[in-house]
Amino acid sequence: MTPARLSQIKARCEAATEGPWWKRWTENRKQRWIEASDGERFIVVETKFMTPCAEHDLSFIAHARQDLPDCLAEIERLKGLIERIATDKGGDYDRAMAQAEMQMNKAMDGVE
């Protein structure tokens, strides 16, 4: 992913209404919405007059406000790790990438 693409994603995250966001619905589930943390802003509203939104799609939208910034932070952390490893290896970026991949795989062992 290019730095420009990462910057675009980060800008959209920063411009979005603050999180966390929550899924909400009426008792009969004829209306569902995503609500901002301030309890006053609706991010997505669905009514009985609209094509129903799948529960998993609502969940994805609601969690995206927290998940995307977390993913961007992890990308930045990993980029920093790769740069440090490359520096330690005398600027050998390919070697640093291979070592970073090994460390990442080791860290991910057992994560589902």
Q: Give one DSSP letter per residue of 70-110, joined into a string.
A: HHHHHHHHHHHHHHHHHHHTTT-HHHHHHHHHHHHHHHHTT
**26-37, pLDDT tens digit by residue?**
777 677 788 888
CA distance readout (Å), 22 to 1, 30, 31, 34: 30, 17, 14, 5
The torsion angles phi and psi of 52, rounded to 5 degrees, stand at -60, 145
**79-111, pLDDT tens digit by residue?**
888 888 778 777 777 777 777 778 877 877 765
* Gap between the Cα atoms of 83 and 59, Å rounded: 35
> Which one has a higher pLDDT value, 8 or 32?
8
